[in-house]
Amino acid sequence: MSAPEAASLPSTFNRLAWSNLAAQSAEQIALAAAPIVAVLLLGVGEGETGLLQTALTLPFILFAIPAGLLADRISRRRLMAGAEALRAVALLAILLLIGLHQLTLPLLALAGFVAVCGTVVYSVAAPALVPSLVSSQQLPAANARIELARTIAFASGPALGGVLVGWLGAAPAFAVAAALSVVAVVLLSGLYEPQRAAVTRRHPLHEIKEGAAFVLHHPLLRPVFVTQFIFNTGWFLLLAIFVPYAVHRLNLSAAGVGVTMAMFGVGMAVGALSATRIMRRLAFGTVIALGPVTGFVAAATMALTTVVPSASLAGLSFFLLGVGPILWVISTTTLRQSVTPSKLLGRVSAINILSYGARPLGSALGALIGWLSGAEACLYLATAIFAVQALVILMSPAVALDRQPDMVGECA
């Protein structure tokens, strides 16, 4: 994103972007620290880290839809602030358990589960709030700014989490994460949210059906949802086994694991910084296709480390998993915001987040295959899954779009 584009975004939106940076940083530090603490402090292996990852992803299945209903009914700003406060409380609980020497894997999973509930609500409400803060023409730049903030978190969070755990112990990592969540709450409390038109409240099941039908019957949004679901399955299968695989097979230290995983954020930074220029020069549909195709190349690169054990190859894989899919996130978020009426944005955003429900599926597959056949089999399966998601989007009408669709009317 260029400097003029960033400067042209309204100050109210910029406050949201800073809040997003703090919230995403808190999430990434905690998510990086949790499996490292589980492996090094609690002594767990591949199967148990897979179960931990499953617990940390279940809220995306359980609470995305309720969060979408709330986002279409009440103040999205207040909903996000409350969710971030919940995450801060959960992270402080982990900190307390560490201080009392009472932390166990089930307690870590429970507190992490609660923290991710806050992540789900924030992730649903934020994309629904953005179109009310910027114009249609500013949507790509605004989404790039949001993703750039998330990118910084992904680049610094895993490395900081790994370094804090490796050098200072588990407590400082969760203390920093909790402090950042509090900062996000403060920033959100001062954000101006435009008044939305009142809507008639109907039975929740009717509203859920309306949002799901819009996505699943839309010729552009349906293949995007399916692709994202498959992508998340493969991605979290890989994540579920990477830390013990990196420690035991690639001989990486805690800091080395953090730095390797931080290459994901570096790739995201490259993609986010160049996103608006790429979207101006390439057809809109081409940008949508770049992420899934790059994801497949990244998975194949990670699988190659089973033959050539190399931290550099693992880092390259994480880099590719950042640079391509960030273009996917920016372009498909812009697509979703453009073709969805405002009154449905919360629920449609929730259906999109529901695709993250594939994360516990991927984590559970990692736990099962890790126990039965080892980490290498998990990496080969992940490569096959990434190949499928690339094929789905390449066969869809979304890749044929020449430009960003016009914003739909409220009654569309």
Token output for 303: 């699988």
- The radius of gyration of the chain's CA atoms, rounded to the nearest angstrom, is 20
Largest Cα separation within the chain, whole Å, is 60
Measured in degrees and rounded to the nearest 5, phi and psi for residue 68 equal -65, -40
Residue 390: predicted pLDDT:
94
pLDDT tens digits for 251-309? 888 778 878 887 887 888 888 888 888 888 899 999 999 999 999 999 999 989 888 88
Q: Among all chains, which residue has been given the structure tokens 């693992």?
A: 314
**pTM, to two decimals:** 0.72
Domain 203-406 has CATH 3.40.50.300: no
Q: Among all chains, which residue has been given the structure tokens 């690169």?
A: 301
Domain with CATH 1.20.1250.20 in the chain: 10-191, 203-406
Task: Tell me the three state secondary structure of residue 57.
Answer: coil
Residue 1: predicted pLDDT:
46
Give me the mean pLDDT over the 71-90 stretch. Answer: 89
For 10-191, the fitting CATH number among 3.40.640.10, 1.20.1250.20, 3.10.20.90, 1.10.10.60 is 1.20.1250.20
Q: Is residue 199 very low, low, confident or very high in pLDDT (cuts 50, 70, 90)? A: low
CA 207, CA 213: separation in Å to the nearest integer? 10
What is the percentage of the chain residues whose pLDDT exceeds 70?
A: 89
169 Rama class: left (phi>0) / alpha (psi -120 to 50) / beta: left
CA 166, CA 149: separation in Å to the nearest integer? 25
